[in-house]
Structure 1
Amino acid sequence: MELTRLLTIRLSRFWLLSLSITFLVGLLMAIMAYSQLTYRFQQHHIDVIEQSLASHLHQQELPQINLWLPDLIRSADALEARVWNGQELLYEYVSGQLADMPRVIDLQLPQQPKVRMQLLLPQPLWHYLPNKFEIWIVLMGFVGVLITARLGYRWYADQLAGLETIGERCHLILKGRYELARNRYSKGHPRFINRAISQLLDQLAEAKKERARFDTFIRSNTFLDHETRIGNRLLFDNRLDALSGSSGMMSHGALLLLEFEELEQLHQLLGDNGLREYLLLNVDHIGRMLQSVPNSVLTRRSHSQFAVLVTQISLAEAEQLASRLVKLCASLKPDEVAQHDAFCHVGCAYFKLGDEPNQLLEEAEMALRAAQMQGNNNWFMYDKGAVDAEFARGSVRWRTFLEMALADKRFVNFAQPVIDADGLVHHREIFTRAREVDGNLVRATLFLPMAIKCGLIPQIERFTLERIIYDLLPSGHGADYFSINLAHDTLMNNDFFRWLKRIMLEHRDLMPRLIVEVDESFTVEALVQLQPRLQMIKMMGARLCVDHVGQQVISTQYIVEAGFDMVKLHRSLVKQIHLRPENQLFIRSLMGSLPLTDIDVVAEGVELLEEWQTLKILGISAAQGPLFSDPISID
C-alpha cells in the first residue's frame, strides 16, 4: 500500500515537474525571442539612419543635415548623436535622457571616410519593456496555464487513485486479509481490474465456506454418531483419555452410563424413522438439561447405550444428575412400550485424582448392571467412598476460603512454557493455585468451579492479570510473552471489563506481549455478545487465543469472525495421536479449514516424544505439556 502510494506520488510529481520544465523552457524561449526582436528592431533604425546618411552625402546635402537627421534620430530613440567631418563637428543631438550601460554605435561610410557618426542608444531589452496591457495579457496567460495544470493534476490524481486502491487490495490479499480486501472496493480506474479482483475474492470466500463445510463434514463423520449427531464412542474414548495421564485421572467427576432396554423391540414397532426420532428427542432433552452442568459431555457408546462424562462435580451433584436423567428418559418413553417399567437405567461411577480410566469404566458398567437388576427405571451409584475431602467443603466454606485468600493475596502463580517447532519458548501460560493457611496448595480444578458458583472468578483472574502486567511483563525481556485464560463470567462482567480497558490503555506498550485465552465452548455460544469485547482487546494490542479447540465438531468460521491469532487444540486430540489416524485426520481437516493467515496452532497436553513428532509433521506451530515442562511457580 505504501509502495503503491509512493509510486503514484512519484508519477504525479514527475508529470508536474515535466509540465513545469516545459513551461519554463517555453518562457525562456519567449524571452530570448523577445530580446532578439528588440535588438533587430533597434538595428533596423540604425540601418535606416546609415542609409539615409549615405544617400544625402551622395546628393551633396550634407550642409542640410539639420533638416532631415533629427527625425531619424528621434525615431530610433537615441540618447545622443554626433556627426563629424574629419575633426569638424557637423551635428550634435542630446535628448537629455539617461540610461544604464547605453550602446555606443559608430557609423563610418566607405564613400566618405572622413564623415563618421556616433550614436548613443539605450539597451533595447530594457527600453522596449511591455506596457501594462501587455503585462496583463501575460499574467492572464500564466494564470490560465496554472489553472490548466491544476485541473490536469486533479484528473491525473483521480486516474491514479484507482491504482492506489488496487495496490491496497493486493497488499491485503498478500497478507491474507481477504475480507478487508473485499470491502475495499473502489470505483476508481481501471474499473475492470477492481471488478475482476472482487469477483475472484467472492469466489474465494465461497470456496472457503465450502471448504469449511467439507472439513466439518469430515470431522463429523470421524467423531459424530450418524443418527443422533452427538459424539460417538471414539470421541468418548478421546475425552476420557484426555482426562487421564500417566498417574491416572487428572481431575474428579462422574461417569454416567444410560442404557435403553427393549430398544430392538421399539425398533420393530416404530421402524427406522420412528426410532431415530425417539432417540433425537431424548438427545435434545438431555442436551438441554446438561447445559446447566458445566464440563459435561454426552456421547453414544453403542446402539442402546449413552455416556455422560462430567468433571469437577461433587458426589451429591452427580447423584442429582443421575436421578434427573432417569426421570427425564422415563418421561419420554413412547406409548408403544408404556407397559414396561424397566425401560431405562443409569449406572454412575464417581472418580477422583489418580483413578485408572479402565477401572472407572468397569465400575460404571457394574453400577449399570446393578441398576438393571433392581428392575424399574432407576439409577445406581458405584460409590467407593473416594470423594475428595477438599471438594467436600460446603459453598459457604468455599466462599469464605476464597475471599480470605483474595484478601491475604494467597494465590500463587505458575507458568508453563509453550515450545515452538524450533525448541524455543513461544510464550508462557499462567496458571493459578490457592494457598491454604497451613501452606497447602489447592488446585485450580477444585476452586475455580466453586469460584464461578460464588461469583468470585473475576476478582481472582483480575489478581492474576495484575501480577502479569505489573510484575512479569515489565521485568521480562522483550521476547517474553505471557498468556492468561479468562472465563466467560469474567469477560462478561462489566466492572472487570471497564478495569481491563483502563489498565490495557495505561500499559499499551506491553500489550503486544500479552495473550488472552478464551474457551471455545462459550465463545461459540456467546459470540455475538463476546465479539465486541474481543475486538477491544485486539485494538489495545493484545493477541487472542481460543482454547480447548476440538471438543466440539463445529465450523471454524467463528475463528475468522472473532479475529483469533492463536488456536490451542484440546488434549483429547493430542493424546496418543501417533497411534490414532482418525485424530490426525481430524487435525488435518481442522487446520485446512483455518484461514490462510498468521494463525498459530498450539497443542496442549503433549506427554510423549512420538506425539510431538507427529504433531510437527501435521504442521502444529507449538506445544505444551509434561514432555517439555510442568507448571513452575513464579512467586
Structure 2
Amino acid sequence: MRKTPSLRLSNRLISFVTLMVSAAIFILFIGGTISFKQIGNEYLEHYLIGVVNVVDEELLQPEEAKSMTKWLPKLLKASSVVSMELSSPTGVVYSFQTLAVMPDDNLLYQKTLPLELNKGYSITFKSVPPYSAFTYSLGALFSITAAIAVIIVSLLWGVVWLRKQLHGSELLEERGRMLLAGKLDDYAIGNEEEWPATASLALDNVIAELKDARKERSRFDTFIRTHTFLDQLTGSANRVLFDSKLESTLQESESQGVLLLLRINGWEELIEESGKAVGDELIVEIGKQLNNVMQRYSDSVLSRYYQSDFALLIPQQSLKEAKVLASQCLKVIEKIIPPKSLDIDNWCHIGVSMYVSGERRGRLMDELDMAHRSALLQNNNSWSLFKKQQQLTESLGSVRWRNLFDAIFSQDQLILYKQSTFLFDGADLNPLHLELFSRIKDENGVQIKASRFLPAIAQVGYQIKLDAAVLKQVFPLLSDPEFSQHSFSVHLHVKSLQNSGFIRQLRNRLLQTPRAQLQRLSFELVEGQVVTYLDAVRPVAKLIKSFGCQLIVEQAGRTIVSTHYIKDLNVDYIKLHRSLMKDIPQRYENQLFVRSLLGACENTGSQVLAVGIENKKELKVIKELGVEGAQGRIFEAETALFHHKEKLSIPKRRSRWEK
C-alpha cells in the first residue's frame, strides 16, 4: 500500500527555498572571501615588484647601493615585510630580518622575484598577508552587512508569504489525511480556502457520489432482502422467512411457544365478486391489527403465509397465554367490517397449536390446519386449540418471575455460560472471543435458558438489573490470570443504554479498568433494537469504542432492516441469526441474504460471523460465501464458566391473615 509523505508540501517548499538562499549566501561569502584574499595578494605582489625595481636600479650605481642599507629596512618594515634576502650566483648579498614576533611561517606570504637589470640576482620576500591583522569594521563592511541583513529579512518575509499562499494546500492535504483515517462524514465538504480549488471541488463531488452510491447500495440490499423475505403487500414476513424462523426455533433446546393460523373464509368468492383491490385492502387491514397485537411479544413473527392466511409464531409462551392471544386476535379482527360478499359473523377462523423443541415443522402446520377446521365447523368467527396428548406446563406468572429474579440478583446466582467464536485463517481457526450467555436456576434447581426467561425479564422490566449483574461478573474475569489469554463478549439490552445511571456505572467501570484488559472486551447489541433506537445507541457505541472495546451487532437477519448502522456505528463484527444457517446449503434465499450483508460490509471494516453452525456442510457453504468467522456446536458446545454450589432460596410469601 502506498504511504503518504510525513512532511507537508508547504514545509518542503519552504525548506527548499531556505536551503537554496542559504546556499547562495554561503557561496557568495566563500567567493567574496577568496576574491578579497586574491586582490590583497595581487596588491602586495605589485608593491613588492616596485621594491624590486628600485633595488635593481640602485645596484647599477655603487654609490647608491651603499646607502641602500639605510633606507631599505625602513621601507620593508613599513611594508610588513618580515624578511628579505638578496641573492646572487655567488651567495646572499643582503639580508633583512625584522625583530618583531611574527606568526607561523606557514601563514606568511612568500615570493621570489628576479632582477631584470642585474641578471642572476633575485630577491625573496616573506611578508604578512594583507588584511590578516584587520578586525571587523562596521564602517568598512557596512554595505556587505546591510546586504546580508536585507537578504535574511527578505527570506523571512518570503517564507511567511509562501506559507500563507500554501495554507490552502495544507488544508487540502489535512483533509486527505482525515479521509484516509476513515472520517469521511466529518470531512465530506471542504473548506473554501482549500487550494487548488478545482481539486477540492472534485473531491467534494466524488465524496457526494460515493455517499449516494453507498445509500443506493444499502437501499438495493434492503430491496433484495425485502423481496426475498417480506410480503410486498403487508410488509410482514412471507412463508419463506416464517418457515426458516420456525425451523430454527424448533432446533433450540428447551424451546416452546404458540403457533396461530388465521384464514379468511370465502376468499375466492370475494376476489371474484369484489376484485383483487378490495381483497388487498382487507389483507392490509388484518395485517395492521395483528401487528398491533404482536408488538408486546419479543422475538415474535407475523407472516402472510398464503394469500388469505396469516401465521403467527410467539416463542416462550404458555398454554394460558396462547388462549389469551387467540382471543385478542379474534377480538381485533371482528372489529374490521368485511366486504359484503363475506358473512360478517362467519368469515374469520383461527387455529392454535403449541410447539416444543424437537417437533417437525410439517406436523405442526398440519396441527394448525386441523385446529382451523375445528374452528370452521363452529359456523361463526371463532378459534380452536389443537389438543395434544401432552400440553405444555403452565409458566410462572409475573409475580413469581419477579421473586425469582430478585432472589437471583440479590444472591449473585446468575450463571454464565461460554461458547468460543473463531475467525477463519485458511484451513485454520483463530479464537476471537468467548461469547457469554446468561442462565438461571429456579428454586428446585432446574436450569432455565436465556431464551425462556428473557421474555419474562422484559415483562417485569429487569433488563438493566440483568446487564448490571452480568457486568459485575465479567469485569473481574478480565484481571483473572486464569482467563488472561481469553477475550469476552457480553450482551447488552438497548433499554440499559437508555438509562443514564447504567451508562454512568458502565463508564466508571471502564475508567477503572486498564486499557489492555478493555481491548479483550466486546459488547453485543441486537440488530433490530439498534436500528429502532439508533439515536440512543450512537453515543454509547462511541463511548465503548473510545475505550478500545469492540462493538458487535448480533441476530442480523432476524428482522429485515437497513444496514446503514454499520457505517454509522463503526461496527467491528456482525453475527448472523442462527435461523439463516439452518439448512443453508439448500436455502438459496438465505445465501442471497448473506451475500447481500457481505456486500453491505465491504470497505467498512466490519466482519460477518455465522452463528449456530451444526455440521460441515453449513461450514463449507459459509466459507464459500465469504463469511470471516463462525460459532456453533460443531466447534464447541456451551459450557459453564463457574459452578454454583449454593442453593437458591426464595423467601415465602407471607399470608395476609398471619398475625
| TM-score (normalised: structure 2) | 0.82
Work out whether residues 274 and 341 of structure 2, in 8 Å CA contact, stay in contact via their aligned partners in 1. no
C-alpha distance in 2 between matches for 1:620 and 1:519:
19
Matches within 5 A, 1:369-380: 369-380=373-384
Matches within 5 A, 1:515-534: 515-534=522-541
Work out whether residues 256 and 322 of structure 1, in 8 Å CA contact, stay in contact via their aligned partners in 2. yes
Give deviations 1:474-528, integer Å, cap 9, x for gaps: 5367763321121112222222211212222332222222221110111111111
SS at match of 1:227: coil
Give deviations 1:188-234, integer Å, cap 9, x for gaps: 55554554444444333323322222222222222122322321111
Work out whether residues 478 and 517 of structure 2, in 8 Å CA contact, stay in contact via their aligned partners in 1. no
The equivalent position to 1:319 in structure 2, one of 323, 332, 350, is 323
Matches within 5 A, 1:449-528: 449-472=455-478, 474-475=480-481, 480-507=486-513, 508-528=515-535
Tell me whether 1:239 sits opposite 2:241 in the alignment: no
C-alpha distance in 2 between matches for 1:104 and 1:592:
88
C-alpha distance in 1 between matches for 2:24 and 2:595:
64
Structure 1 equivalent of residue 422 of structure 2 = 419
Give deviations 1:267-301, integer Å, cap 9, x for gaps: 45553334323322332343234223222211101
C-alpha distance in 1 between matches for 2:194 and 2:554:
43
The equivalent position to 1:448 in structure 2, one of 443, 454, 461, is 454
SS at match of 1:522: helix
Work out whether residues 234 and 283 of structure 2, in 8 Å CA contact, stay in contact via their aligned partners in 1. yes
C-alpha distance in 2 between matches for 1:165 and 1:121:
65
Tell me whether 1:626 sits opposite 2:633 in the alignment: yes
Question: Which sections of structure 2, spanning at least 5 residues, go unmatched?
Answer: 643-659
C-alpha distance in 1 between matches for 2:535 and 2:310:
32
C-alpha distance in 1 between matches for 2:397 and 2:83:
129
Tell me whether 1:351 sits opposite 2:355 in the alignment: yes
Indicate the larger mover: 250-259 or 16-25.
Answer: 16-25
Structure 2 equivalent of residue 566 of structure 1 = 573
Give deviations 1:32-61, integer Å, cap 9, x for gaps: 222222222333333334345555676876
Distance 1:141 1:276, change over 3 A: farther
**How many Å apart are 1:451 and its aligned residue?**
2.2
Work out whether residues 574 and 603 of structure 1, in 8 Å CA contact, stay in contact via their aligned partners in 2. yes
The equivalent position to 1:28 in structure 2, one of 13, 30, 42, is 30
C-alpha distance in 2 between matches for 1:341 and 1:497:
53
Matches within 5 A, 1:565-604: 565-604=572-611
Give deviations 1:364-399, integer Å, cap 9, x for gaps: 32332233333333333445586655x622222222
C-alpha distance in 2 between matches for 1:157 and 1:4:
21
SS at match of 2:5: helix
Structure 2 equivalent of residue 402 of structure 1 = 405
SS at match of 1:230: coil
Give deviations 1:92-129, integer Å, cap 9, x for gaps: 999x9977556677888554699998988543242344
Give deviations 1:575-624, integer Å, cap 9, x for gaps: 11111122222222232233323322111222222111111111111222
Structure 2 equivalent of residue 262 of structure 1 = 266
Work out whether residues 419 and 427 of structure 1, in 8 Å CA contact, stay in contact via their aligned partners in 2. yes
Structure 2 equivalent of residue 606 of structure 1 = 613
Distance 1:362 1:24, change over 3 A: same
The equivalent position to 1:308 in structure 2, one of 289, 309, 312, is 312
C-alpha distance in 1 between matches for 2:405 and 2:311:
33
Work out whether residues 286 and 325 of structure 1, in 8 Å CA contact, stay in contact via their aligned partners in 2. yes
Matches within 5 A, 1:542-553: 542-553=549-560
Distance 1:370 1:408, change over 3 A: same
Work out whether residues 266 and 342 of structure 2, in 8 Å CA contact, stay in contact via their aligned partners in 1. no
Amino acid at match of 2:622: L
Distance 1:283 1:85, change over 3 A: closer
C-alpha distance in 2 between matches for 1:219 and 1:449:
27
Question: Which sections of structure 1, spanning at least 5 residues, go unmatched?
Answer: none
Indicate the larger mover: 497-506 or 195-204.
Answer: 195-204
C-alpha distance in 2 between matches for 1:384 and 1:133:
120
The equivalent position to 2:291 in structure 1, one of 263, 287, 292, is 287
Matches within 5 A, 1:95-244: 100=103, 109=115, 111=117, 121-150=127-156, 155=162, 162=169, 169=176, 179=185, 182=188, 188-189=194-195, 191-244=197-250
Give deviations 1:523-569, integer Å, cap 9, x for gaps: 11111121111111111111111111112223212211121111111
Q: Percent identity?
A: 27
SS at match of 1:126: coil
Indicate the larger mover: 455-464 or 509-518.
Answer: 455-464
Larger helix fraction of residues = 1
Structure 2 equivalent of residue 367 of structure 1 = 371
Distance 1:206 1:371, change over 3 A: same
Query: How many equivalent pairs are there?
Result: 629
Amino acid at match of 2:42: R
How big is the alpha-carbon RMSD for the aligned residues of Structure 1 and Structure 2? 4.1
SS at match of 1:417: strand
Give deviations 1:40-87, integer Å, cap 9, x for gaps: 23333333343455556768767898999899779x653789999999
Indicate the larger mover: 158-167 or 427-436.
Answer: 158-167
Work out whether residues 38 and 128 of structure 1, in 8 Å CA contact, stay in contact via their aligned partners in 2. no
C-alpha distance in 2 between matches for 1:437 and 1:451:
17
SS at match of 1:415: strand
**How many Å apart are 1:418 and its aligned residue?**
1.9
The equivalent position to 1:392 in structure 2, one of 386, 390, 395, is 395
Structure 2 equivalent of residue 4 of structure 1 = 5
Amino acid at match of 1:48: G
